[in-house]
Structure formats: C-alpha cells, structure tokens
A and B are shown apart, each in its own frame.
Chain A
Amino acid sequence: MNVPVNPKTLVAEMPPVSTSEQIATMKKALLKNIQRSAYVYRVDCGGCNGCEIEIFSSITPVFDAERFGIKVVASPRHADILLFTGAVTRAMRMPALRAYEAAPDPKIVVSYGACGCTGGIFHDLYCVWGGTDNIVPVDVYIPGCPPTPAATIHGFAVALGLLEQKLKAETHVEAAGETAALPHPDIPYALRVRLEREARRMAGYRQGRAIAEEFMALLEGHAHMPGSFTLSECMMEAIAEERDPRRAEIIGRLVDVVQQAIRGEAA
C-alpha cells in the first residue's frame, strides 16, 4: 500500500471518506423531522471499554435514553446513529469503515469519548489513527474520559438537533497591564510554601491544596480580626468545629507548622 505519510505524526494519510451533497441534504431533512426513534449502533474502535460502560449506563432505567427513542441496536444496517468509541487502532480501521459503509444513508456519526474525538491520551501512539474523524466524517463530538451518562444524553440531544451546543471556541488576548494577583499577600511566602507542602503531603495534591487554602483564609481572617483570641484558641475552635477527624488532624498539623514558624524553627 503506497500512501503519503504525514511526517509530523508519522501516520499514513488515507483519503477521508467523502459524502455527497445529496446525502448532506438528506441528513438535514432527517434531522429536521425525525419523527421516530433514533437507532444507535456502537462501533468499538479499540477503546478501553470505559466508554462502553458509560453508554450502557446511559440506557439503564436511571438515565433511560430510551425515553427519547434512543435505542442501541445490534447491526449497523438498522442504525441511524453510529457511535465510534476508541482511538481507532490500525487493526480496527477496516472493521470501522465496514460498519460505516453498512449503515444506510443518511447516517449521523458521533465520535464518543476523548479517544474518539482526538485520540485522547493515545493520540501520538504509533498504532492508532488518533480520532474517528481521521477515517470517517463526524457530525458530533462528545468529549469526556469517559463522558458521564448525562453528557452522553446531552451529546445525543445535540446530535439530533434538540439542544444547542454550549461550548464555543474562544481566544483570550492579554489586556494591557493585566497582572495575576498574589495569593495570600499577608502570609509570608516561606510559610505559605510550608503550609501547602504539609497539607499536600497529608491529603494529596488536590484536597491538600483545598485544605491549605481554607486554613490560610482562616489565618488571614484571624490576622484581620481584632479581639482577644490568640492564634491557638482560634485554631482549636476551628478544629473542634471540624467533623471529619482526618481533616481535623491535618488542620492540627498546620497549626503546628505555623507555631514552628513563629518560634523560628526550621521545617
């Protein structure tokens, strides 16, 4: 097979499947007055099955996609909507194209999940095509890793023209004199770093930062609040109010860090 290779991605460039004008108008007519159920055929092009699990959870009674007439069928010959999941591995290209060709026109192609949209985390792998749109023309992209059942239902609604898409391409250009605010300017930088480090060490990066932020807001509040409270009293109160023992322990540890810093001890 002699096909041009894209030097940037080191992937052969296959001619994309093209659709004629007639099919495009047919598709528009179908979307305008689709007065029946939309049948979905699911094409797995080498995904991790996370997307499949979410698709099946979106047809369970809790999310119940079938109340909108969205029904998963077993053959592409019955399908109105083709749902491509996975990053399109080399081996799955031909089966995916066969499923695409087997579906009757007009058909709606939905690219599902991060892998389907752009190749996701596998986008630069040697054995993938990196996205459904590299092999077939796609109408709707549903990003997510995997998309939640609610996101799936929203995606179907967008595909069927029932809901408007919310996301729009945007470009922010830096305004003149735009500056980023310093976080917690009242707390010395060295202390802030120690607090964040300790909170993150104990609670993990995401939660640790949230706890450190809360704690520093408390510290600043204490600094601004005139009154007879000492630091430890104020903090003890905060710890006593905390109902989660793990969080209380972390806040207690942060109080220790502050007191160490006040005494001038090294970390």
Chain B
Amino acid sequence: MATFDVIIIGGGPAGYTCAIRSAQLGLSTAVVEKDKLGGVCVNIGCIPTKALLYSSRIATVVAREAKELGIEVGAVKTDYGVAMKRSRRVAEQNSKGVEFLMRKHKITVIKGEGTILPGKKVRVGGDTHEAKKAVVLATGSRVKGIPQIGLEIDRTSVISSDEALFLEKHPGSLAVIGAGAVGCEFADIFNSFGSKVTLIEALPRMLPLEDTESSDAVAKSFRKRGIEVIAGAKVSKAIVGKDKVTLTVEAGGKTQTIEAEKVLMAAGRAVNTEKMGFKEAGVELTDRGWVKVNLATLETAAPGVYCIGDVAGPPMLAHKGSREGVNVAERIAGLKPHPIRYDNIPSVTYCHPEVASIGLTEEQCKEKKLDYQVGRFPFSANGRARATNETEGFVKIIREKKYGEILGAHIVGGHASEMIHELGVARENEYTVEEVDLAVHAHPTLSEAVAEAALDSMGRALNI
C-alpha cells in the first residue's frame, strides 16, 4: 500500500497528461494502466491510423500522379501487412515516449486493473493505494458492435478498428458501418490498398456532425476514388458467414443487398464504466452512460473524485481529454485554471481530403437564428494548392454580421488538420475576421485561403 497525492486510473491521453501536469505542480502522482501507456489513442487509435493514412496517401499519389510529376515507377504494388507493421512501430515508439515522460516526471506507473474504493482509495490486484488529494478517472472507451441487427464484433468477419489495425492483408471487400471520423479514415485506407469499400451511414450524410458543405465535398471525393457512400441508410439485417457478410440495407426507399468479405464497425464507442467500483464509490452515471461530472470542475458525484476524457462525456477526442487532464491537475493543486471552452475544440477527420472544423456549422447558425455571412475560398484558386496537386476542398468561415465574430470555420483539403488552429487561436482570443486578415499570411501557402475566406466573409476576397 502506497500513498500519493493523486491517483489516476487510465494512462491514455487524458490520464497521462493529467499525471504530467500534476507532477509539474509538485504533487506525488500515480497512474494505473492495465495495458500500454498512451491508451487507445497511441496504441490502437489516433497514432497508428495516421501512419496507415500516410501510406495510403503516398500510394494514391504515386499511382495517380507520379507520371504527371515526372517520376517513373512502373506498376505500383501495395502491401497492407508492411504498412501495418510500420504503423505498429510508430505506435510502439509513442508508447515508449509516454513511458519516458512518466519516468522523467517521477510518476509511479502501477500496472493492472484499477478499482476505485470509497474514501479516495484505489485497489490494483492485491494492493490498495490511497490518494491524499484526489482520484482521477480516465478509463476511456472501447469499440462497440450492434448486436441488435446481428453485428456483434466477432473479430474475424465483423471487426472493429482494434482488428483492422492488425490485419496482415487488406480484405477484398469491406463494408464500413458508420461514416464518422473512424469510418471515413478506414474507408480511405482500405480503398487505397485495393479493397472494394462501401461506407454506410445511418444519418442523412457522411461526417454528419460536420458542416453540410464539408460532408458533400468529401462524399464527392470518395465517390470519385471508387468508394461507395450510402447515407441515410438503415442496416436491417446482417447474415454473418465464414468468409462473407451479407447486409440488407434500406436507403432512399430502396432495399439493397451488400456483400463484403469483412464488416468494420465504426458506429460509436462504449465508455468504460463497468467493474471498477464506480457505483460503490459514489460515482454516478448519466442516462446515456457517461460519468456524471460538474462541467465547471470535472468533479464527479463523489467528492475528491474527478473524471476526464472519453468517459466524462463528449466530444470523445484525445485533445479534449488531455486538456481536461491539465485543468483537473491545476484544480487539484489549488490553482484556478481558466474554464475549458467546450465550444472551441477542433474536430478533425484525417482521410483525404482532410476535414477540420471549429465552432458552429452553418446549420447551427441558422437554427440559432444568428445573423451571419459565409466567406469561402476554394483551394482550386490557391497557388500553393495548385502546385502540389491538392486543389480539392475549401476554407469556409462563418462571420457574425454585426461585430465580425468568427462563429465557425470549416476546412476541407489536404492539410486541413494543420490549418484549423489559426482559427482556434482567433476564436479563443476573440479575434474577429478582420484580425485574421490583418495578420500577414506568407505567399504561397495554403493558409492564404484562410485569410481570403475571412476577406470573403466581408465581401472583399482578393484572389477570386
């Protein structure tokens, strides 16, 4: 039995970041992790998929553009197994990196499954540890299937990202259920490696939480690459065979049958709240299954027990969790951190073209009856984008008419994920579209499209 100031259950991006900040503030800190440090993000989520998407992007560029770029490569062959092994090395390096950070900050890593006990105690195996100041729950989430329609994840025919990341070979055909970020990224990856991909979404459009224009742009791009996109679709029946899954899909008043070697479930995640003593310790859950927290303090119903990351509620994003980790650590240390602006968390999908957004969509602005003007700039009018063959997509900025507030920003394009932060900084500091334009943007860069979209929202774009 050991005593710490803070014990964090879960070593994913929320948990390990919370641990580092706690240690920085002089608190003795322990992290309980049953698997590898870095959690889903580092090991079976964000990081390895980005490695695979890089392979997929290069494969596409080499196959389609090499000749035009003056490069002779002959016939292009891809090997998913090789790309997968590289993605594992990348994930491994990142997990090692987290281990190093734990050592650097003298954070105790306790291996095993943590159970919270009343009175800020945590049991791991036979040992019980005590937290003097706080216990932080950062237990994360996991993939889930849809057993109601016969799509229980069986890890062979019906798989999740957990299995897709370890396949030795790409499937001949793949049906992806759920066209959110995860579904779109895997559709992109396996399409590039030669699978026949069908992307199925229950809501009326793919990337349903993004601005309609973003969804439409990606759908168009995907279809051009040969990915079949079926939105507003209901999977009414699934017959899971040995090497084949047959789905009955209803969409647009028609019923069709889709056969695929494998089905990838990418329709939501379940949070990890079971068998860890939450209830007994006084931690309450919401109707939808997340841990109930006071959003201002991230404290649960049990005093001295905080909750961060996926298990604390949406959006289920690594960067939201890590920010909550920092915030909670500062609170535990007696500081008064700035409140987290949940309306200013960027959302990114890393398929090609990438989709990034922050703030409100145009639909939400309409619903709220805000008086707004949209500024747009297409990458087809941007010199740098033309030079690098990345003319798909656009920057869209929604400006509040009276004061120029940036209500929302939406970027579709080759490097959207890297470009959204300019608008995040602007929104965080309450810059208006004018300040975004006033900052001189280097030429030629893709970011010029951001400044041009800002200008366009005031009706005075220069280069279009």
Question: Are A and B a genuine interacting pair, yes or no?
Answer: no
